Structure 1
Amino acid sequence: HRISKPNAKIRIIVPYYNCYGAYNDITHLHYFNEYSFEPFYKKSTRGNYFINEKFELINLSLIPTRLGKFFFFDFIRKPLGKVLGQIIQTIDITLRVVK
Structure 2
Amino acid sequence: MKKLNFGCGIKIKEGFVNVDLQKHKGVDKSFDFNKFPYPLKADSFELILVDNVLEHLEDPEKVIEELHRIAKNGCLIQIRVPYCKSILSFNDITHKHHFNRRAIEQIVRGHDSYSYEKKNKFELIKNELRPTRYGKMLPKFLRKYANYLFNEIHDMIEVELKVIK
TM-based fold match above 0.5: yes
* Partner residue in 2 for 1:93: 159
Equivalent in 24, 28, 32 of residue 99 of structure 2: 32
Q: Which has the higher contact order (CA 8 A, sep 6+)?
A: 1
The amino acid of 1:11's aligned partner reads Q
Equivalent in 147, 157, 165 of residue 81 of structure 1: 147
Tell me which stretches of 4 or more aligned residues in structure 1 moved more than 3 Å. Answer: 45-53
| Correspondence 1:62 to 2:111 | no
Q: Please give the secondary structure, in 2, of the residue aligned with 1:13.
A: strand
Aligned partners of 1:27, 1:51: CA distance in 2, in Å?
30
* Partner residue in 1 for 2:75: 8
Q: TM-score, length-normalised on structure 1?
A: 0.83
The amino acid of 1:26's aligned partner reads I
CA distance 1:56–1:79, shift in 2 (3 Å)? same
Aligned partners of 2:126, 2:83: CA distance in 1, in Å?
16
Aligned length: 96
Aligned-residue offset at 1:70: 1.1
**CA RMSD in angstroms, aligned pairs only:** 2.1
Aligned-residue offset at 1:46: 3.5
Say if 1:63 and 1:88, in contact at 8 Å, map to a contact too: yes
Q: TM-score, length-normalised on structure 2?
A: 0.52
Gaps of 5+ in 2: 1-67
